[in-house]
Amino acid sequence: MTPAQPDMTAPGPGATSAATGADSGSGSGSGSGGTRRRALRGDRSRGGAGRGAGGPARRSAAARGTARPGIGWALPAVVFFGLFALVPLVMVAVLSFTSWSGLGSPSFAGLTNWTKLFHDPVMIQSLWLSVLLTGLGVVVQTPLSILIGVWAAGPQRGRAVLAAVFFVPLLLSVTAVSVLWRALLDPNFGVPAQARWLFGDGDLFGSRTGAIGVLVLVSAWQYTPLHSLIYQGATRAIPKVLYQAAAVDGAGRVRQFFHITLPQLRNAIVTSVILMVVGGLTTFDSVLILTQGGPGTDTTITAFYMYEKAFKSFDYGAGAAIALLLVVVATAISLVVVRLSGYDRMAGTQEGLS
């Protein structure tokens, strides 16, 4: 392979005009053979590394030629993020070892908050409740959103229109959705008051099962569209060849779904479930508005308990300790997210094709 010269000079004028014309499509088209081949491979993440493959001479020419931004470009964002996200994160750890009522300054309290926390039945229960609600959310939403997503991925025009309507709940804020459902299920003015034959005394928020059911229902109503969108995209990316081959073999619609669609959606399922888990563990707004953690403490999940401890009982130290617990759990899960959404994921379902 010849070093830099032809590759560097040939696309010069063409690429520059493309750049000012802001047209990435013609930009790669007017490039040299090397560029085109890279584009054909569709290997965008390695676009930079591909340049190095030409040998050391070529790399140094490029490095000398291109103006690279210094770290200073990143500095404002880093400082801002550090100040408003990382400093509080460190402080939450510090505050969890202090006692502070919101007035004056926090005073060191050692492990008091932590020992109290681990002997607090409401706290232990809140962890279980968080896991229960998250698990129920995954169990309810995953099959629903797979069915809707696969259905919406079909080429029919009517499906696209309906899918756009299905999207509406996602446009409302969590607050709005919770307020709406609270009004809808109100024991005195809502649907239960009109349909006593179905709801009994009509107070869904008065029993543990009812309250948990409402929370699961409302979050499914709001978030199913998001997850079905993920599945819709993933389904459209499944190679048509697979279905054609299956049809030739005489596989019907149901068998195609279970033997092609579902296995091909594996990565999408992982992504969607992780999003559900992280979202579920940090649920707060809907609990505050719909059930206030009640009846009693029957729906007091961890994030809500943290809010109650800190901002209702003014025990900020305990609140910080609960928050830290939340961070640890969320970080552990997010590390899994980063691992799973890495490059190893990309190759996954396309083995043996091409």
Partner 1 sequence: MSATVGPPAAGPRTARSARRAARRADAAGSAVGSRPNYLAGAGAFLWLCVVGLPVYVMLGASVRTKPDYTAGGPLSLPGTFGFGAFTRDFSSGFGRYFLNTAVVTVSVVAIVLLLVPPLAFAIVRNRGRATSGVFRLFLLGLAVPAQAVIVPMFYLISKAGLYDNLIGVILPTAAFCLPVCALILTGTMRDIGAELFEAMAIDGADTRRVFFQLVLPLSRGGLSTIVVFSALQAWNGFLFPLVLTQSESSKVLTLGLYNFQTQYGTDIPALLAAVVLSTVPVLLVYLFARRALVQGLMGVGGK
Interacting residues with partner 1 between 55 and 94 (CB under 8 A): 62, 65-74, 76-78, 80-81, 83-89, 91-92
Instruction: Quote the CA–CA distance of 38 and 1 in Å, as a whole number.
Output: 15
Among 204, 229, 277, 287, binds partner 1 (CB under 8 A): 229
Among 50, 54, 187, 295, binds partner 1 (CB under 8 A): 50
Q: Does 323 bind partner 1 (CB under 8 A)?
A: yes
* Unique residue bearing structure tokens 């830290």: 324
Q: How far is the CB of 113 from partner 1 (least distance, A)?
A: 11
Q: Does 354 bind partner 1 (CB under 8 A)?
A: no
Among 27, 149, 210, 280, binds partner 1 (CB under 8 A): 27
Q: Does 101 bind partner 1 (CB under 8 A)?
A: no
**DSSP codes, 228-293:** HHHHHHHHHTS-HHHHHHHHHTT--HHHHIIIIIHHHTHHHHHHHHHHHHHHHHT--HHHHHHTTT
Residues 292, 295, 296, 299, CA torsion sign: negative
Inter-residue contact 171 to 250 (CB < 8 Å):
no
Q: How far is the CB of 137 from partner 1 (least distance, A)?
A: 15
Q: Which is nearer to partner 1, 74 or 139 (CB)?
A: 74
Q: How far is the CB of 255 from partner 1 (least distance, A)?
A: 14
Q: Does 280 bind partner 1 (CB under 8 A)?
A: no
Q: Does 273 bind partner 1 (CB under 8 A)?
A: no
Query: 286-305: which residues touch partner 1 (CB under 8 A)?
Result: 288-289, 303
Residue 285 CB coordination number (10 Å): 15
Q: Does 211 bind partner 1 (CB under 8 A)?
A: no
Query: 110-149: which residues touch partner 1 (CB under 8 A)?
Result: 144, 147-148
Is residue 98 within a helix (H) or strand (E), and if so which, with residue range? Answer: strand 98-99
Inter-residue contact 123 to 322 (CB < 8 Å):
yes
Q: Which is nearer to partner 1, 136 or 265 (CB)?
A: 265
Question: Applying CB under 8 A, which part among 114-122, 135-143, 207-215, 336-344 lies near partner 1?
Answer: 336-344
Q: Does 20 bind partner 1 (CB under 8 A)?
A: yes
Is residue 107 within a helix (H) or strand (E), and if so which, with residue range? Answer: strand 107-108
Q: How far lies 272's CA from each of 38, 166, 195, 232, 268, in Å?
A: 31, 18, 35, 12, 6
Q: How far is the CB of 177 from partner 1 (least distance, A)?
A: 8
Residue 41 CB coordination number (10 Å): 11
Task: Please tell me the count of residues contacting partner 1 according to CB under 8 A.
Answer: 132
**DSSP codes, 188-238:** TTSHHHH-HHHHTT--GGGSHHHHHHHHHHHHHHHHHHHHHHHHHHHHHTS
Site map (CB under 8 A) of partner 1, residues 231-260, x = contact: --xx-xx--x--x---x-----x-------
**Nearest Cα to Cα of residue 205 among 187, 180, 191, 178:** 187
Query: 173-202: which residues touch partner 1 (CB under 8 A)?
Result: 173-176, 179-184, 186, 189-191, 193-194
Question: Applying CB under 8 A, which part among 111-119, 125-133, 151-159, 206-214 lies near partner 1?
Answer: 151-159
Instruction: Quote the CA–CA distance of 153 and 162 in Å, as a whole number.
Output: 11
Instruction: Quote the CA–CA distance of 302 and 133 in Å, as a whole number.
Output: 11
Q: How far is the CB of 229 from partner 1 (least distance, A)?
A: 6
Q: Does 154 bind partner 1 (CB under 8 A)?
A: yes
Q: Does 341 bind partner 1 (CB under 8 A)?
A: yes
Residue 149 CB coordination number (10 Å): 26
Among 35, 126, 130, 219, binds partner 1 (CB under 8 A): 35
Inter-residue contact 317 to 100 (CB < 8 Å):
yes
